[in-house]
Amino acid sequence: MKHHSAQREYWRSLEHLANTPEIQQSASAEFASYEPDGMLSMSSLTRRRFMKLMGASMALAGLSLNGCRRWPEAKLAPYTSTPPNRIPGIPEQYATMMELGGVGSPLLVTSYDGRPIKIEGNPTHPFSETVKGRSGAADAIAQASILEMYDPDRSKAVINRSGGNEIATDWDHFTSAMSSTIDSLTASPGSGLAILCEATASLTTTRLKAALAKRFPTAFYEYEALSRDNERVGIKSALGQPARQVLHLDKAAVVVLLDADPLGAHPAHVRYAGDWVKHRPNKEKETSRVYAIESAMTISGSVADCRMGVRPSRVGAILSAIAAQVGLAAAAASLTAEEEAFIKPLIADLSANSGKSLVAVGPHHPAEMHAMALAINDKIGAIGSTLTLLEEPNADRPHHFDSLADLTKKLKAKQIDTLVILGGNPAYDAPTDLDFAGALKNAKTSIHLSLYDNETSHACTWHVPRAHYLEAWGDARAWDGTVSICQPLIEPLYNGKSSDQMLAFFAGEPETESDAIVRKTFADIDDLAWRRVLNDGLVKDSGFKKVSATINSSAALPAAGGQSGYEVRFLQDSKLYDGRFATSGWLQELPDPLSKIVWDNAVLVSPRDAAGLGVGVGDMLKVTVGGASVEMPAFVLPGQPVGVIGLALGYGRTMGEHIGSDVGVNTYALRTTGAMYFTSAQVTATGAYYDLATTQDHHLFDQLGIQERQARVGEKHKSAEIIREATAAEYKRDPQLFQRNEEGGISLQLYEPPRRFNDPHAWGMAIDLSRCIGCHACVIACQAENNVPIVGRDNVLKSRQMHWIRIDRYFKGDAEDPNPEVVFQPVACQQCENAPCEEVCPVGATTHDTEGLNVMVYNRCVGTRYCSNNCPYKVRRFNYLDWHSQDPRHDKYPKPWLGLPDTQQIETVPMVERMMYNPEVTVRMRGVMEKCTFCIQRIHNTTIAKRARGEELKDGEIMTACQQSCPTQAIVFGDLNDANSKVSKWHQDKRAYSLLDADLNTKPRNRYLAKISNPNDEANG
Amino acid sequence: MASVPTTEFIRIAEQTEGDNTTDDPRFRAPLVTGGKNFAAVTETVANIAERPAPPQAWYVAMGVSLALLGLLGAMVGYLILTGVGVWGNNQPVGWAFGIVNFVFWVGIGHAGTLISAILYLFRQNWRTGINRLAEAMTIFAVICAALFPGIHVGRPWLAYWLFPIPDQMNLWPQFRSPLMWDVFAVGTYATVSLLFWYVGMVPDIATFRDRSKSKIKQVVYGIFALGWNGSSRHWHRYERAYLLLAAIATPLVLSVHSTVSFDMAVSQIPGWHTTVFPPYFVAGAIYGGFAMVIFLVVPARELFGLKDIITKRHMDNMAKITMATSMMVGYSYMTEFFIAGYSGDRNEAFTFHNRALGPYCWSWCVMFFCNVVAPQVLWSKKCRMNMWIMWVVGICGNVGMWFERFEIIPESLTRDFLPSSWHAYWPTWVDLCTLAGSFGLFMTLFLLFCRYLPTVAMAEVKTMLPEAHAHGAHSADEKRTDYRPDEHHDPDTDAPRFANR
Amino acid sequence: MTTDLKETHDPHEETNGVESTEPMLTGLLGEFADVTGVVEAARKTRSAGYKVWDVHSPFPIHGIDAVIGIRPTILPWLVLIGGVTGASCGFLLQWFCNTFDYPILVSAKPMLSLPADVPIIFECAVLFSALTAVFGMLALNRLPLLYNPLFKSAHFRRVTNDRFFIWIDASDAKFDEKSTAEFLSSAGATGVERIED
């Protein structure tokens, strides 16, 4: 109740503030001078003016950061008309879709008085729901895109570079300038118009393309740096017709992954992870077994039960060996002893589980391998049971890579006068041998529509600011083809235009506004149904049709020359994707799931190769491919295949704005059309050193420390103090084995606690180590929900990262082991009943509430940091500096603040960034300790509402941000008073244990479920 | 009758070649050499303050100290305006230089009260030569110490919330926290030391008052002398108050560093959660304190010609105490390691394994050498008599004790329970400058004290002179200047004996 | 210690608050060169039956109390009271703050956890008793007393250096300027001075 009344007071003070004359004045000034064009001419000056406008609207609403409640009033509303039941201050949620690489991920966006503040998965959509209708998962990238939308670095004006020099201008100038081009095109089409776009399955885009093609000859090109077209082409060749395959990991007892990463890097990985976990240890099903044969350390590989790291060039051979052994007419390639030993039990499992097994090949392998994989799947009865084939959209388009090569050729031959590039950044991520940026100069007019004035924009004659997907209407299709509408949550902050608006303009469509354009596409849906679609976030039964066709298993693999020396494997970055998200501070500071590196990419080398090269973490390596070479720090990654070096793409942006520029090294420099994913390389140590910032194991590692760490986490598949685990077989044999590890029943309690911490609820959490795949979605979810700041590389080097929840990643197995076991352990505040942090706080800033929460009172904290010292889990985070106001890039020693210390936060945070804060959560200032609160704001919002309505709280009605975003539902939160709640059941589970409790009697309210893996002893050797 | 002590002194001088460090029971080594009488003692001490200009060395030292003090000011300013982040502290290591320096300075502060109180109760009359210097040192050290808890917190402008005063949130301090115990322990210690120092100084300030020619000095000293006029009735109550203070301060001295050690001992971090800490810290504090006294006294007695009042014998005794405490400290180190191994607690055992062989073993070696090995030279009387060696040992003691705290506080935090959160700690330039600056503060105060206040407890020293005692009934007993086990207790001595009780 | 002696008055208690404009004799000051001398003289003074007199010295003279007959001070009892008060204040403070006025749940510990209160109870006891000792002493000594007719004497300045004085107050019943002066010199005073106020 306290919480609630506090809230009210807050509001009163707001109105009070909002009524001061100067605010009123600035407000009127704001609306007087608010006309979009006024803000379109870009210069640092108008940017400042823009900030001022924002500032006024902020101030209008006081500092509660809900300021744009009135600003977007002009037109902006998530619906085309403001709904009647809109209550200021009550957050609303809208379904929308984010398209990435031609596949949309369904989202639910929380909007607070017109400001989107939080992105979650759409719980009603099959591709993100985790708990039916209640919780939707979204990956880290999708959740972090909210930051991208507010990014003050986004381009704000049309820029004309045709004259050689930059002229900032506006949309009208652009349209008038273009109309002449269009006229000439309509008069004498000639080579016509060329359009290069990102992969998209949008129906609106398709419609507009057709319209445009009708108007005058237009050549369409499509490019994705991380294309999955190999798979598309392969399936087409095997099937004789284009198709897309949807895996059903929930039905697969045996899964064989050849460089495939369905849990980590697939467009549908959220759904796949949710499916995979349905077949992991639980009541209904036997634990499935995942075999991973991979040339890199992936998320899927790290949770696989049997894993073998191999050179990329060997994967084909192994695949055909499998093909041969399941009885396909494939040239049985000769395997090494190790490979033989690995696939023998694999084959046994496959044949034993015919119809319940699955083989998948990574998208970076040639089409032939995908064809063969499909043939195998056919043979082992996967198709129809564990794998469905659906029709593929715009099937006849060429391979992305060919498409771009073709375009470049035409450009070089001066066959293209006018090129429109919708999104993307080919000047940065195109294969180097194409020299796309150079070719671009041959086009008389080149127009780049983009969120940022980036590398490609600078190579074009025009740059047009693009509307973020949260700012404009659109549509996209999920992996299974289900159509969703992208609803905007806010009017374009920087007056961008959507790619559809751009196409519509060239197509001469009457509609100019994105809502009208999209609505036209779905004209056959009546308004009522339309509202329904918008509400649900998807068009029912709009998925792709199933295709049934016979596989002609005559696929022969291209001879993969047995490579010696080093092989490079280009990797999709776990955070920046292909580099387009380099401008997001959240993602830059998100630890890589396996290496834990932030703000950098590195040469991933296996321990053995590192020894061979005589390098350790941070030693610079020179990687030479053909003529090109880059120098990058090495990172020794256990499990990295010997002879393979992993290079993450997407770093080393030169025009990534303030956040993204000059972070890491641009590995596209080594990527050529001939070798888009693998190639051989020379690697030499340069002797230089670079300090890689990682959030774990940083600066650790003398031998003593390594030995101790390994001793504490235990041997492969063996329990230890910190990580408890067993194999499925052991667990089946002896379900009590984890209970026995507990210090049996001895009460270490000296006295009766004054409360039982269960009045009226007893909040608890449980985390299943068998389910966590280390995807880090929860980290971003927490960051967005709780206004967690980023600190920048310099401060991560000092180990001052602020994430409230961290994923501890431990490699098990000795240093020499080429295939160590990986364990992910999410650690947030354990909410100990005997909280060690509380007794040492001299000012009572961290205490317990009656429901068992260890609450942190920010405004009481003076910052002695004693609580953090005494926390055995080290989950507390301290604001050593004013993270919100300091520059994450270059503040080794931030500027002193000469105002009142307590005003620092408000004064220095850019207004537009404040719009994104969750007003339910205090923004912590410097000198204050903070930590996970079990999302206390969510708890109280729900319980208060429930109490007001006099209803009982049902299990699962309150979800913490991390729990909600978890694709595998590894995190469960709820009321321990309710014996039937999921969390109570998990706490009572035979696998449950409390971290360090046996040592310290901290009585955590968070318990872990021991990890159950299902290795095949033969395969693991 | 003034000839009696003089001849006695000559006799001793013959027997011991002017060296008063003999423990030959046949002779009583005088605590004041050079045949000084009351006037001469006054002269020697008052002269320091009365001479028109202090020695050149004083100005040099003062210059350096003031420069460092300025540096301290700049660093503290930068810290408060910017945030604790300018220090090297990080996620596992919440406490580093700030608290290390705090504990270090509090430790230094122990010798003073120890000498004034405990040695007083033990009738160690030789304390009279050095107790004033030591007490002053205590006050200044505690001032330096008090600085750090204030600035190490995240929001220094709210540090006053640690005091039990009602605030806008109607919240009170949380008294279960060892930090609150610190507030009271250090606060009490500072107050009591200050009182002890000042009360002891009142008669000597009166001396300055009565000797000073200039009106201003007369007024200023006069105010602080509180109108002291040497009345026997005053002396009686004064002596009694002093004795009581000593009796009160003795347990206080022992409690303060015990309480400081609770900051670690009460927590549960391996390397902190150690039951041996209270005695171990006290021993260390006394060792460090004496090291600091030696470090200061060696040059002071040279500079201000106090050799006859702070005699070789004083240095000798201090050397012995230093060595004894250093061995206690060494014993504590051994105990820690033994218990860590013996406990069978994996985390505990690793912490100490790591302390001696981990990334910070160098600092452990520095500590062990300075605190345990170096003082062993003091077994030899030659070394005890060589002021240069004594001075170097004094420096070692300070360095060693600083590193002991560094070992315990940040180093234990770098590797605790979950290996995932292990992280190294390195200080920034701000850390280092702040440490240096705190020495500037200390030295500045100390030099001012030497220049303007009685550096030696004249009144007490005078009672140590042979002629301080009336002859007749009590003479046999009163000539005793050093405690001697073979002493027969004189039946007549149950009248109050001031100097010794 | 010898408490059987009957009390003699502290001259300062008499001289205090004497308010008069024209100089009047307040007493006689006899100067002595060494401890033995002044102690002998003190014995004589006492046996001569003087009541309102005192010995002034640069340092506490051993045995002088017995000679003058100074009663042991009550200071120790005051300090005891101070200590007890401190201890109880220390406890009450903690009880009031953490148990009574604003109890908060901390580490599942009882609202009143005595062991944790001990250090502060102890420190408060020490603090209070130390303050009592010092300020009690000053109060009993009636200090600070910045004005004192004795300070008018040039000789008396050496009382904080190397000279010893016997002061016989004019208010003493046996006091007679002439005879008392003679008595002092006969007792071995190197000089006798009349102090006016």
Distance CA A872, CA A725 (A): 21
Q: Which range among A18-27, B22-31, B133-142, C9-18 has the greatest average pLDDT?
A: B133-142
Q: Which residues of A touch B179 (CB under 8 A)?
A: 840, 842, 864, 866
Backbone phi and psi for residue A685, each to the nearest 5 degrees, phi listed first: -85, 135
Residue B458 predicted with pLDDT over 90 = no
Closest CA of chain A from C105, distance in Å: 5
Q: Return the pLDDT at A906.
A: 65
Whole-number Cα distances in Å, C105 to A328, A835, A850, B263 = 69, 10, 8, 21
Greater model confidence, A468 or C23 = A468
Q: Which of A871, A712, A706 is nearest to B346 (CA)?
A: A712
Share of chain A above pLDDT 70, in %: 87
Q: Return the pLDDT at A554.
A: 61
The token pair at A663 is 């972070």
HSE (side-chain half, CA atoms, 13 Å) at C170? 15
Asked if B98 and B151 count as a contact pair (C-beta separation under 8 A), the reply is yes
Provide DSSP, C145-173.
Answer: ----GGGG-SGGGGGGTT-EEEEEETTST
Distance CA A209, CA A504 (A): 9
Q: Could you say which of C104, C108, C116 has the minimum Cβ distance to residue A753?
A: C108
3-state SS, residue A1011: strand
Q: Return the pLDDT at B471.
A: 64
Mean pLDDT of chain B: 85
Rg of chain A, C-alpha, whole Å: 28
Give the helix ranges, DSSP H, for A624-763. Answer: 657-660, 703-713, 728-733, 737-741
Q: Which residues of A touch C111 (CB under 8 A)?
A: 754
Q: With an 8 Å Cβ cutoff, is C103 touching chain B?
A: no
Q: Return the pLDDT at B7.
A: 47
For residues C154-182, one letter each, b for 16 or more C-beta atoms within 10 angstroms of the residue's C-beta and e for the rest, the string is eebbbbbbbbbbbbbbbbbeebeeeebbe
Task: Name the band, by pLDDT with cuts 50, 70 and 90, for residue A23.
Answer: very low
Q: Return the pLDDT at B72.
A: 97
CB contact (8 A) between residue A872 and residue B418: yes
Share of chain C above pLDDT 90, in %: 40
A254 sits in which H/E element = strand A254-258
Q: Which residues of C touch A833 (CB under 8 A)?
A: 108
Q: Choose, out of B268, B413, B416, B430, the residue to mutate when testing the contact with A (most A CBs < 10 Å).
A: B268
Residue C30 predicted with pLDDT over 80 = yes
Q: Return the pLDDT at B420.
A: 92
Say which amino acid occupies B474. Answer: H
**pLDDT (tens digit, 9 = 90+) per residue, A81-116?**
555 666 777 888 899 999 999 999 999 999 888 889
Q: Which residues of B touch C130 (CB under 8 A)?
A: 188, 191-192, 195-196, 245, 248-249, 252
Which value does ipTM take for this structure? 0.87
Angle at alpha carbon of residue B81, lines to B75 and B85, rounded to 5°? 75
The token pair at A225 is 């740096």
3-state SS, residue A220: strand
Give the helix ranges, DSSP H, for B164-276. Answer: 178-211, 215-225, 232-265
Distance CA A855, CA A59 (A): 30
Residue of chain C whose alpha carbon sits nearest to that of A871: C107
What is the DSSP-derived secondary structure letter of residue B231?
Answer: B
Residue of chain B whose alpha carbon sits nearest to that of C70: B233
Chain C positions with Cβ closer than 8 Å to A: 104-111, 116
Distance CA B294, CA A25 (A): 71
Residue A28 predicted with pLDDT over 60 = no
Distance CA A394, CA A190 (A): 26
| Chains in contact with A via at least 3 Cβ–Cβ pairs below 8 Å | B, C
Cis peptide before A910 (omega within 30 of 0): no
Residue of chain A whose alpha carbon sits nearest to that of C105: A848
Q: Which of B105, B106, B108, B125 is nearest to B116 (CA)?
A: B125
B448 sits in which H/E element = helix B429-452
Q: Which residues of A touch C116 (CB under 8 A)?
A: 839
Distance CA A77, CA A611 (A): 59
Asked if A720 and A714 count as a contact pair (C-beta separation under 8 A), the reply is yes
Q: Return the pLDDT at A553.
A: 63
**pLDDT (tens digit, 9 = 90+) per residue, A196-217?**
999 999 999 999 999 998 888 8
Q: Which residues of B touch C40 (CB under 8 A)?
A: 470
For residues A46-67, one letter each, b for 16 or more C-beta atoms within 10 angstroms of the residue's C-beta and e for the rest, the string is bbeebebbbbbbbbbbbbbbbb
**pLDDT (tens digit, 9 = 90+) per residue, A477-523?**
999 999 999 999 998 999 899 999 999 999 988 888 889 999 999 99
Q: Return the pLDDT at B434.
A: 96
What is the DSSP-derived secondary structure letter of residue A618?
Answer: T
**pLDDT (tens digit, 9 = 90+) per residue, B276-335?**
899 999 999 989 999 999 998 898 888 888 888 888 888 998 999 999 999 999 999 999
pTM of the model: 0.88
Q: Which residues of C touch B180 (CB under 8 A)?
A: 120
| SS3 track for A490-535 | CCCCCCCECHHHHHHHHHCCCCCCHHHHHHHHCCCCCHHHHHHHHH
Whole-number Cα distances in Å, B29 to A727, B231, B245 = 81, 30, 28
Distance CA A243, CA A391 (A): 4
Closest CA of chain A from B276, distance in Å: 19
For residues B134-173, one letter each, b for 16 or more C-beta atoms within 10 angstroms of the residue's C-beta and e for the rest, the string is bbbbbbbbbbbbbbbbebbbbbbebbebbebeeeeeebbb
Backbone phi and psi for residue A603, each to the nearest 5 degrees, phi listed first: -80, 110
Q: Give the position of tokens 């044999």.
A: A733
**pLDDT (tens digit, 9 = 90+) per residue, A773-782?**
999 999 999 9
Residue of chain C whose alpha carbon sits nearest to that of A837: C107
| Chains in contact with B via at least 3 Cβ–Cβ pairs below 8 Å | A, C
Mean pLDDT of chain A: 85
Task: Name the band, by pLDDT with cuts 50, 70 and 90, for residue A29.
Answer: very low
Closest CA of chain C from B247, distance in Å: 10
Residue A4 predicted with pLDDT over 50 = no
Greater model confidence, A740 or B210 = B210
Q: Could you say which of C2, C117, C126 has the minimum Cβ distance to residue B188?
A: C126
Compute the average pLDDT of residues A465-469: 94
For B432: left if phi > 0, alpha if psi spans -120 to 50, otherwise beta; the answer is alpha
Q: Return the pLDDT at B26.
A: 62
Asked if B153 and A862 count as a contact pair (C-beta separation under 8 A), the reply is yes
Q: Return the pLDDT at A893.
A: 63
Residue A660 predicted with pLDDT over 60 = yes
Q: Return the pLDDT at B479.
A: 39
Q: Which of C67, A805, A914 is nearest to B472 (CA)?
A: C67
Q: Which residues of C touch B207 (CB under 8 A)?
A: 58, 160-161
Residue A374 predicted with pLDDT over 80 = yes
CB contact (8 A) between residue B460 and residue C76: no
CB contact (8 A) between residue C73 and residue B184: no
Q: Which range among B77-81, B483-487, C131-135 has the greatest average pLDDT?
A: C131-135
CB contact (8 A) between residue C108 and residue A849: no
The token pair at A515 is 């809502």
Cβ count within 10 A of residue A575: 25
Closest CA of chain C from B259, distance in Å: 7
A914 sits in which H/E element = helix A911-914
Q: Choose, out of A695, A704, A874, A878, the residue to mutate when testing the contact with B (most B CBs < 10 Å).
A: A874
- Inter-chain CB pairs, A–B, below 8 Å: 197
Distance CA B465, CA A966 (A): 84
Q: Return the pLDDT at A14.
A: 38
Say which amino acid occupies A481. Answer: G
Residue of chain A whose alpha carbon sits nearest to that of C109: A753
Residue A218 predicted with pLDDT over 90 = no
Q: Return the pLDDT at B91.
A: 87
Closest CA of chain A from B163, distance in Å: 9
Q: Return the pLDDT at A551.
A: 80
Angle at alpha carbon of residue A501, lines to A495 and A506, rounded to 5°? 125
Q: Mean pLDDT lowest for which of A275-284, A415-424, B61-70?
A: A275-284
Compute the average pLDDT of residues A754-778: 92
Asked if B454 and B201 count as a contact pair (C-beta separation under 8 A), the reply is yes
The token pair at A278 is 């349905």
Task: Name the band, by pLDDT with cuts 50, 70 and 90, for residue C10.
Answer: low
Asked if A345 and A1016 count as a contact pair (C-beta separation under 8 A), the reply is yes
Window C:168-197, CB contacts with B under 8 Å: none
Task: Name the band, by pLDDT with cuts 50, 70 and 90, for residue B27.
Answer: low
Greater model confidence, A902 or A607 = A607
Q: Return the pLDDT at B19.
A: 64
**pLDDT (tens digit, 9 = 90+) per residue, B399-427?**
999 999 999 999 999 999 999 999 999 99
Distance CA A284, CA A286 (A): 7
Asked if A437 and A450 count as a contact pair (C-beta separation under 8 A), the reply is no
Q: Return the pLDDT at C3.
A: 36
Task: Name the band, by pLDDT with cuts 50, 70 and 90, for residue A417.
Answer: confident
